[in-house]
């Protein structure tokens, strides 16, 4: 796209924001539109003459100044960049300076007097977008970004969005942790971070609970170890064990991906709770007393391992299959026996993959919120403690922020460990040259051990998911009342015909919102992710590394931390989004973005750069090349990103539990609410519906483009891969 047309478009958008769109946020919802062009929906042009928004006048000259040159067909780079940057700065400055309760900075009070305003609205958003376009075309006209206005706009735009929705919330958490009673208090931060609540070791001495950091670490380590071992057993059986159970193995890897994370917990309660099925049998047959052992570390651990083991399996299976058979054959020609070969060749080659699987389980356990919430009981981990610090009776954002910082540090620590430790230890054992050996079968003893671990676990997994399947259709599975009924589905999803369809079931609202939010956020995530991948992989521009870092940053932030940071950052003007559906969409887009970006970068690595260059030498500009060459070739990656973000928008609970409102509730949060109210069967019935919807989506997409990779963190850490 030419710089001139982009600049004109940008100015037109800014003008639209100035002249037509409501400048402030619509507090009363869409109904406020009725008062346009006055009242709450007034555009800035209607507010300015009255003098009540006199401090916004500078925007007018800033946006009018580029007009003559653009109308005359010139692109004055310096002027455009300056005006655009000025407008953006002014909008945010005035927004922060003058808030709901008047002037925020006491220094300004004498000059401004008694003024107040609500948050920025669509008009302001359009002005900001237009101004960003002006900055981009200005920079491009001055020779930056290879002189390409389109690339400049993508970079400026995505950097702005990432700053606003990833970086600023994180900064807000940092600042919230050091602020007490509205004042800067480093001592408060120190006290909050070192609180005994987090670090106490009382559990070693007596039967009191330990600090929440120790709980979290213990849980994460156990989850990592157990899921890795289980995954390894399955991987060895699948790749080397000559077992005919691959469809069952595949099903087991798909199920956790399309199941909301805490649904497994429901099933565990039904099986092992105080009135659970298994607990009941144990009591009747063996006289084992009913206890609440499932609530706490054992239950949460079980639930997390159920979710993580399949992912470890996928990772490790790839690693086992990637070991070149000729290596093992070489060892056996040198006289090594089967078990010796395994111990001296296979196992050492697997170690990096095992480390990767462990860290993956560790990090996922840190981030998990749904299972500890449902099953934790008195056993608190950081993610739940953060939630209760915000949502609980003692509403303490400072404490929540400090705990979020701790969780963030643990997560970053794990990622740093991964980069340091695994990054350097990659073995490529399958080269491009054909390796025609036959994989060595498992040593018999080892196969027996793997089988002894894997088959019971398989049965257990089947039982857990079977409960979910059955639970919605029987009267009260929690008490063993197994008579068939539609009751729970009717409660949730009743439809009546009274002059048309009436959705009377209590779950419809949240289901519709969930599908809408997922359907809106998925294309946005995929689109932005693929464009960013293209920028990062194919273009070189100043700040590329920083942009990449910001993109990947949100990958490492646990959902609970994101939730808290959004609440803290977007609860007050100038950017007030809490309570809207928009904040849910934004949250999903930026949380799922890194996966789209990674997928896009991986797919682009398969597309030779000479294709872009060929297009360029034939006169194709960036837009043409992207549209006609790159995007068609990236179709599988785009669809995978779509599937991933749709599924995750439907199953996520950790971040959005902070962000939902009565008007915009989500399915997962609704289900958690039903569990807390003890309506286990309804929760299970609803989960079944969710799983069916996602299964339909995922299978539909697989039908369209073949197997899609949809695990959130399953992609990055494959330590062994076939050479090109």
Partner 1 sequence: MSDAAVRFTGVTKAFGAVRAVDDVSFALPAGALVTLLGPSGCGKTTTLRLVAGLDLATAGRIEIEGRDVSRLSAAERRIAMVFQSYALFPHMNVLENVSYGLVVGGARRAAAESEARAMLAQLGLEGLGGRLPAELSGGQQQRVAVARALVLRPKVLLFDEPLSNLDARLRRRVREDIRDLQKRLGLSVVYVTHDQQEALAVSDLVVVMRDGRIAQMGTPQQLYDEPADAFVADFMGEANVVAGQVLDAPGGTARVALGGVTVETAMRAHRPGALSLAIRPESIGLLPADDAAGGLPGRVRRAAFLGQTREYEVETAAGLLFVVTQAAAPAHEEGAEVLCRPARMVPLEA
Q: Which is nearer to partner 1, 162 or 604 (CB)?
A: 604
CA-CA distance, 417 to 431, in Å (whole number)? Answer: 28
- Residue partners of 430: CB distance under 8 A and separation at least 6: 322, 323, 324, 720, 722, 723
Q: How far is the CB of 629 from partner 1 (least distance, A)?
A: 6
Q: Which is nearer to partner 1, 49 or 619 (CB)?
A: 619
Q: Which is nearer to partner 1, 534 or 670 (CB)?
A: 534
Q: Which is nearer to partner 1, 147 or 437 (CB)?
A: 147
Q: How far is the CB of 632 from partner 1 (least distance, A)?
A: 5
How many angstroms separate the Cα of 226 from the Cα of each of 206, 221, 360, 361, 418? Answer: 27, 9, 12, 9, 18
Q: How far is the CB of 615 from partner 1 (least distance, A)?
A: 7
Q: Which is nearer to partner 1, 173 or 630 (CB)?
A: 630
Q: Which is nearer to partner 1, 632 or 723 (CB)?
A: 632
699 CB neighbour count, 10 Å cutoff = 12
Assign 3-class secondary structure to 70-110.
HHCCCCCHHHHHHHHHHHHHHHHHHHHHEECCEECCHHHHH
Q: Which is nearer to partner 1, 247 or 619 (CB)?
A: 619
Q: Which is nearer to partner 1, 58 or 636 (CB)?
A: 636
State both tokens at 133: 């376009």
Q: How far is the CB of 138 from partner 1 (least distance, A)?
A: 18
Q: How far is the CB of 698 from partner 1 (least distance, A)?
A: 25
Residue the block writes with tokens 């003692």 = 394
- Which spans of this chain sit near partner 1 (rule: CB under 8 A)? 143, 146-148, 608, 610-611, 613-621, 624, 628-629, 632-633
CA-CA distance, 136 to 159, in Å (whole number)? Answer: 11
Max CA separation in the chain (angstroms) = 93
Q: How far is the CB of 8 from partner 1 (least distance, A)?
A: 20
Q: Which is nearer to partner 1, 191 or 623 (CB)?
A: 623
Residue the block writes with tokens 């063993």 = 480
Q: Which is nearer to partner 1, 436 or 540 (CB)?
A: 540
User: CA angle at residue 290 from 289 to 296, to 5 degrees?
Assistant: 125
Q: Which is nearer to partner 1, 292 or 609 (CB)?
A: 609
Q: Which is nearer to partner 1, 31 or 611 (CB)?
A: 611
Contact 604, 657 (CB under 8 A): no
Q: How far is the CB of 614 from partner 1 (least distance, A)?
A: 4
The residue ranges of DSSP E strands in 387-537, in sequence order, are 474-476, 481-484, 495-497, 501-503
Please give the DSSP secondary-structure letter assigned to residue 679: -
Bridge partner residues of 486 (DSSP)? none
Q: How far is the CB of 146 from partner 1 (least distance, A)?
A: 7
Q: How far is the CB of 144 from partner 1 (least distance, A)?
A: 13
Q: How far is the CB of 539 from partner 1 (least distance, A)?
A: 12
Q: Which is nearer to partner 1, 221 or 624 (CB)?
A: 624
206 CB neighbour count, 10 Å cutoff = 6
217 CB neighbour count, 10 Å cutoff = 18
Please give the DSSP secondary-structure letter assigned to residue 29: G
Q: How far is the CB of 147 from partner 1 (least distance, A)?
A: 7
CA-CA distance, 638 to 525, in Å (whole number)? Answer: 10
CA-CA distance, 610 to 622, in Å (whole number)? Answer: 14
Cis peptide bond prior to 574, omega within 30° of 0: yes
Q: Which is nearer to partner 1, 182 or 619 (CB)?
A: 619
Helix axes 680-705, 246-258, angle to 10 degrees: 120
Q: How far is the CB of 634 from partner 1 (least distance, A)?
A: 10
Q: Which is nearer to partner 1, 27 or 608 (CB)?
A: 608
CA-CA distance, 293 to 300, in Å (whole number)? Answer: 11
3-state percent helix, strand, coil for the chain, nearest multiple of 5: 70, 5, 25
How many angstroms separate the Cα of 559 from the Cα of each of 647, 662, 674? Answer: 16, 21, 21
Please report the DSSP string for 278-325 in residue order: HHHHIIIII-PPP--TTTTHHHHHHHHHHHHHHHHHHHHHHHHHHS-H
CA-CA distance, 42 to 24, in Å (whole number)? Answer: 8
**Backbone region of residue 42 per phi and psi (left: phi > 0; alpha: psi in -120 to 50; beta: other values):** beta
Q: How far is the CB of 1 from partner 1 (least distance, A)?
A: 12
Bridge partner residues of 497 (DSSP)? 501
- Compute φ and ψ for 322, nearest 5 degrees: -80, -10
Q: How far is the CB of 691 from partner 1 (least distance, A)?
A: 35
Q: How far is the CB of 625 from partner 1 (least distance, A)?
A: 8
Q: How far is the CB of 77 from partner 1 (least distance, A)?
A: 14
Q: Which is nearer to partner 1, 614 or 704 (CB)?
A: 614
Residue the block writes with tokens 């916004």 = 56
Contact 266, 468 (CB under 8 A): yes
Contact 521, 588 (CB under 8 A): yes
- Residue partners of 212: CB distance under 8 A and separation at least 6: 197, 198, 380, 381, 382, 385, 403
83 CB neighbour count, 10 Å cutoff = 25
Q: Which is nearer to partner 1, 3 or 406 (CB)?
A: 3
State both tokens at 396: 């303490």
The whole-angstrom distance between residue 19's C-alpha and the CA centroid of its chain comes to 37
Q: How far is the CB of 668 from partner 1 (least distance, A)?
A: 39
């Amino acid at each position: 796209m030419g710089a001139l047309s982009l600049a004109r478009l940008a100015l037109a958008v800014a003008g639209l924001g100035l002249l037509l769109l409501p400048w402030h946020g619509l507090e009363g919802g869409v109904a406020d539109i009725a008062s346009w062009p006055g009242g709450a929906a007034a555009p800035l042009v209607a507010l300015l003459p009255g003098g009540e928004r006199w401090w916004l006048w500078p925007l007018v000259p800033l946006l009018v100044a580029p007009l003559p040159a653009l109308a005359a067909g010139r692109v004055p780079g310096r002027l455009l960049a300056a005006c655009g940057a000025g407008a953006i700065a002014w909008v945010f400055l005035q927004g922060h300076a003058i808030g709901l309760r008047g002037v925020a900075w006491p220094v300004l009070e004498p000059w401004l007097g008694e003024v107040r305003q609500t948050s920025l609205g669509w008009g302001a958003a359009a002005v900001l977008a237009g101004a960003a376009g002006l900055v981009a075309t200005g920079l491009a006209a001055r020779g930056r970004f290879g002189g390409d206005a389109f690339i400049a706009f993508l970079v400026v735009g995505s950097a702005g969005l990432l700053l606003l929705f990833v970086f600023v919330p994180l900064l807000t958490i940092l600042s919230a942790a050091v602020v007490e009673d509205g004042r800067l208090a480093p001592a408060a931060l120190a006290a909050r971070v070192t609180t005994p609540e987090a670090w106490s070791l009382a559990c070693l001495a007596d039967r009191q609970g330990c600090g929440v950091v120790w709980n979290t670490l213990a849980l994460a380590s156990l989850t990592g170890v157990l899921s890795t071992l289980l995954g390894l057993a399955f991987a060895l059986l699948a790749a080397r064990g000559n077992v005919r159970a691959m469809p069952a193995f595949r099903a087991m890897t798909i199920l956790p991906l399309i199941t909301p994370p805490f649904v497994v917990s429901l099933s565990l309660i039904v099986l092992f709770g105080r009135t659970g099925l298994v607990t009941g049998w144990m009591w009747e047959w063996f006289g084992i007393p009913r206890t609440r052992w499932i609530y706490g570390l054992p239950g949460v651990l079980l639930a997390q391992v159920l979710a993580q083991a399949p992912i470890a399996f996928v990772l490790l299976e790839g690693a086992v299959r990637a070991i070149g058979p000729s290596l093992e054959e070489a060892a056996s020609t040198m006289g090594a026996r089967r078990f010796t070969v395994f111990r001296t060749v296979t196992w050492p080659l697997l170690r990096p993959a095992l480390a990767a699987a462990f860290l993956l389980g560790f990090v996922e356990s840190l981030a998990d919120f749904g299972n500890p919430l449902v099953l934790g009981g008195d056993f608190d981990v950081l993610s739940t403690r953060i939630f209760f610090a915000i949502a609980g009776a003692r509403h303490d954002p400072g404490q929540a922020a400090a705990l979020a910082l701790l969780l963030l540090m643990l997560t970053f620590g794990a990622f740093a460990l991964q980069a340091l430790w695994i990054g350097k230890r990659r073995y490529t054992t399958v080269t491009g040259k054909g390796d025609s050996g036959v994989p060595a079968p498992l040593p018999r003893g080892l196969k027996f051990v793997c089988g002894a671990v894997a088959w019971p676990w398989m049965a257990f997994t089947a039982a857990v998911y079977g409960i979910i399947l059955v639970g919605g259709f029987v009267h009260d599975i929690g008490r063993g009342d197994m008579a068939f009924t539609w009751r729970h589905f009717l409660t949730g999803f009743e439809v009546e015909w009274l002059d048309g369809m009436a959705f009377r079931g209590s779950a419809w609202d949240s289901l519709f919102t969930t599908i809408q939010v997922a359907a809106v956020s998925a294309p946005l995530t995929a689109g932005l992710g693929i464009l960013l991948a293209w920028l990062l992989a194919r273009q070189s521009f100043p700040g590329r590394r920083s942009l990449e870092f910001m993109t990947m940053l949100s990958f490492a932030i646990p959902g609970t931390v994101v939730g808290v940071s959004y609440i803290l950052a977007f609860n007050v003007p100038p950017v007030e989004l809490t309570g809207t559906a928009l904040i849910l969409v934004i949250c999903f887009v930026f949380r799922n973005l890194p996966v789209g970006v990674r997928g896009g970068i991986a797919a682009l690595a398969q597309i030779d750069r000479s294709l872009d260059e060929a297009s360029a030498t034939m006169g194709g500009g960036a837009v043409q090349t992207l549209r006609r060459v790159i995007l068609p070739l990236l179709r599988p990656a785009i669809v995978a990103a779509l599937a991933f973000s749709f599924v995750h928008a439907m199953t996520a609970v950790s971040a959005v539990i902070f962000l939902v409102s009565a008007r915009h509730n989500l399915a997962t949060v609704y289900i958690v609410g039903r569990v807390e109210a003890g309506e286990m069967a309804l929760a299970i019935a609803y989960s079944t519906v969710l799983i069916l919807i996602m299964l339909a989506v995922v299978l539909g997409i697989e039908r369209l483009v073949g197997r899609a990779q949809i695990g959130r963190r399953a992609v990055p850490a494959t330590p062994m891969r076939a050479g090109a």
